[in-house]
Amino acid sequence: MCGIIARVGEGGAVDELLTGLKNLEYRGYDSAGVAIPNGKSIDIRKQEGSVDDLVSAIDGNEPVGNIGIGHTRWSTHGPPTDENAHPHTDCTGSVAVVHNGIIDNHDELRDRLIAEGHEFTSETDTEVVPHLIERHLANGDGPEAAFRSAVDELDGSYALVATVEGGDALYATRNGSPLVLGIDGDRHYLASDVPAFLEFTDDVVYLEDHDVVVLNGDGYTIFDSEGRRLDRPVETVEWSPEDAEKGSYDHFMFKEINEQPVALGQTLSDRFTGDGDVDLGIDPDRYVDVDHVHFVACGTSYHAGLQGTHILTRAGVPASTYRASEFVATPPPLNEDSLVVGVTQSGETADTLEALRVATRRGAKTIAVTNAPGSTAVRETDESIFIRAGPEIGVAATKTFSSQVATLIMFAELITRSMTGSGIEDFEEIVDSLRSLPDAVQRILDTSRAERIARFYAGSEAQFFIGRGGAYPIALEGALKFKEITYEHAEGFAAGELKHGPLALVNADTPVFAVILGPGDEKTIGNVREVQARGAPVIVVAPEGADDALAVADEVLTVPDSHPIVASVLANVQLQLVSYHVAELLSRSIDKPRNLAKSVTVE
């Protein structure tokens, strides 16, 4: 949701800024721009369209200078036009600013600035910031003081980086939107996310809200909001640059689907202790008095959360999963014995963060289940569990979902032990399947018939996905992935609900994917017959040994025999492949689907 990159240090800025923007395009791809001070003025190049369009536009006429800021946009205020593209400037073009987030009081600030004679050229909320800096410079402040004074006037969420003509410095801050500092000897970077500069450095400082950073040729200094110097730890990220590159794959999504055996291996490694217990890096004793587990999440992570509730409920532990935005709208009763678990691969999703804040305000215990060390969710919760899936660049979540579910299975055992004194009854069987999960995923990747099924059904009127119990979240996730990257109509339903309304939509041109994983099989098989009676072809996704389920199918996608809870991850891999191949056949923009961005930092 908007990507920021900035750099200071030896060497030309433009190439690294454009590389950073390309690496950040998963956060927004409506428009892109860079601003590079060249000693005389600030050279700004920005336009509607992709980073590649920007690269072509400046090819042969690159801006010269060794500090600069860049931005790739996902529109919130104003459509994707050249004028609304970042960086934004003041009236004189001597201040340039890039921003991620939303400035809530921009209307009021804009009115005041216009009344004072400032002229605006865009419809964005961001443009108030360079004008505010201009105003404070005109009042005699130096650039750093002018930046601070401007920031003091803002309400809302923001990561901001500014540069001022005539200086050799960048000024940055954050409040509720991510910003990370990268350090490579004399060269320094600021970005919304580590993959932006991972090929330049893996040494990072995760900035905190209200930190103010000043970067120049001498290095970086971090201050708190009162201007006192801060010492933030430098951490080395474990991701390699190749993890965040497409390599020989056509799409990041397909690469990430294929990375799932490795990702799951990382997720599961060193988590089981000798006595059959689970170690997720959290303190189990904190949770002995918990009386209810609430998962809060959005989109794909919400589906992982539903799986968490399924596993806990089945083990006799009270649990619920909420869409984070609805949890905020209507919070359930919470107290110090409530545990609220935010499931968020990015750790930056605004709805989920707000749900966790509501929980904290009401005294609940909080945990983040995330792929992003240093993220806001990690900083704002009591404890964190890392899913260790490695970087995911494709906007559609794939490997992070698998790693989330695998993590939540282990979490369910840990919390069940804490809350009830004994673990999940069949946990040993679940662990056996978990240990085989990476290999089982690899078998699916090597043998899947998903491409053939995609060829057969691409272009259908709609696709439906049904499942019961632990297969229901997979039906929902299958449908979400399908609509997200194919732009075709797809819906997921609880198998038993079909006959209560959705069956009216079913016809011979609406293939139904039935996920059948074990418990409740006969009933779902009955639901399959109901849709077949209306002419719909049914693709059954089921374990190899599930003869009854496979017998009713028009087409089958099998998964290696596993415990049903673990088989849900496998079934989902088959559905990821179907969506991917349909999107490819329809020539969709797979890694950057229409209107979507990864990491949604607005509510």
Among 2, 22, 481, 483, the one annotated catalytic: 2
Quick check: 375 binds ligand F6R (CB under 6 A)? no
344 binds ligand F6R (CB under 6 A): yes
Could you tell me if 150 and 133 are in contact, meaning their C-beta atoms sit under 8 angstroms apart?
Answer: yes
Q: Which helix (H) or strand (E) holds 69?
A: strand 67-73
| Other beta carbons within 10 Å of 178 | 26
CB of 397 to ligand F6R, least distance (A): 3
Nearest residue to ligand F6R by CB is 299
Stretch that binds ligand F6R, among 298-306, 408-416, 454-462, 499-507 (CB under 6 A): 298-306
Structure tokens, 528: 């399959």
Cβ-based nearer residue to ligand F6R, 321 or 352: 352
Residue choice 18, 298, 367, 553 for contact with ligand F6R (CB under 6 A): 298
Which tokens hold the place of 396?
A: 């559609």
Active-site hit among 46, 365, 592, 598: 598
3-state secondary structure of 119: coil
List the beta bridge partners of residue 107: none
Question: Nearest CA to 69 among 50, 87, 88, 91?
Answer: 87
Q: In the complex, what is the shortest distance from the CB of residue 370 to ligand F6R, in angstroms, rounded to a whole number?
A: 8
First to last CA, the chain: 12
601 near ligand F6R, rule: CB under 6 A: no
- Compute the C-alpha angle 105/375/368, nearest 5°: 110
202 binds ligand F6R (CB under 6 A): no
Least Cβ distance, residue 462 to ligand F6R (angstroms): 19
Q: How many residues bind ligand F6R (CB under 6 A)?
A: 14
Q: Is 490 in the site for ligand F6R (CB under 6 A)?
A: no
Nearer to ligand F6R, 84 or 572 (CB): 572
Stretch that binds ligand F6R, among 86-94, 299-307, 510-518, 551-559 (CB under 6 A): 299-307
Least Å distance between CB 176 and ligand F6R?
Answer: 14
Catalytic residue list contains 592: no
**With binding defined as CB under 6 A, does residue 349 bind ligand F6R?**
yes
Nearest distance, CB of residue 253 and ligand F6R, angstroms: 9
Nearer to ligand F6R, 403 or 599 (CB): 599
Q: Is the peptide bond before 233 cis (omega within 30 degrees of 0)?
A: no
Rounded to an integer, what distance in angstroms lies between the CA atom of residue 351 and that of residue 464?
Answer: 27
Choose the stretch contacting ligand F6R; rule: CB under 6 A; options: 58-66, 272-280, 295-303, 409-417. 295-303
Q: Whole-angstrom Cα distance, residue 79 to residue 64?
A: 29
DSSP string over 246-284: -TT-S-HHHHHHHTHHHHHHHHHTT-B-TTS-B--SS-G
Residue 164 or 298 having the CB closest to ligand F6R: 298
- Mark whether 298 is an active-site residue: no
345 contacts ligand F6R (rule: CB under 6 A):
yes
d(CA 532, CA 534): 5
Pairing of strands 229-230, 235-236: unpaired
Q: For ligand F6R, what does the binding mask look like between residues 449 and 488, x meaning CB under 6 A?
A: -----------------------------------x----
CB of 404 to ligand F6R, least distance (A): 8
**Of residues 109 and 378, the one with the C-beta less far from ligand F6R:** 378
DSSP 330-368: SPPP--TTEEEEEEESSS--HHHHHHHHHHHHTT-EEEE
Q: What is the DSSP string of 364-427?
A: -EEEEEES-TTSHHHHHSSEEEE-------SSS--HHHHHHHHHHHHHHHHHHHHHHSS--TTH
Q: What is the C-alpha separation between 126 and 494, in angstroms, rounded?
A: 43
Q: For residue 599, state whether it binds ligand F6R (rule: CB under 6 A).
A: yes
Which CB sits closer to ligand F6R, 14 or 454?
A: 454
- 302 or 464, CB closer to ligand F6R? 302
Q: Report how far apart, in Å, the C-alpha atoms of 189 and of each of 16, 79, 309, 336, 596 are.
A: 10, 29, 41, 41, 26
Q: At what angle do helices 564-585 and 427-447 cross, to 10 degrees?
A: 20
Q: Between 150 and 179, whose beta carbon lies closer to ligand F6R? A: 179
CB nearer ligand F6R, residue 345 or residue 510: 345
Secondary structure (3-state) at 181: strand
Number of neighbours of residue 34 by Cβ within 10 angstroms: 29
| Shortest spacing between CB 492 and ligand F6R, in angstroms | 13
d(CA 134, CA 339): 47
Q: How far is the CB of 29 from ligand F6R (least distance, A)?
A: 15
- As measured in angstroms, the least distance from the Cβ of 247 to ligand F6R is 21
List the interface residues with ligand F6R, window 396-415 (CB under 6 A): 396-397
User: In whole angstroms, how close is the CB of 248 to ligand F6R at the nearest point?
Assistant: 23
Q: Which stretch binds ligand F6R (CB under 6 A): 25-33, 250-258, 306-314, 343-351?
A: 343-351
- Residues 66-125 binding ligand F6R (CB under 6 A) are none
Residue 193 as a binder of ligand F6R (CB under 6 A): the answer is no
- Binding residue for ligand F6R, selected from 352, 416, 418, 574, defined by CB under 6 A: 352
Surface-to-core class of residue 406, CB atoms within 10 Å of its CB (0-12 exposed, 13-18 middle, 19+ buried): buried
Q: Tell me which residues touch ligand F6R (CB under 6 A).
A: 298-301, 344-346, 349, 352, 396-397, 484, 599-600
* Catalytic annotation, residues: 2, 598
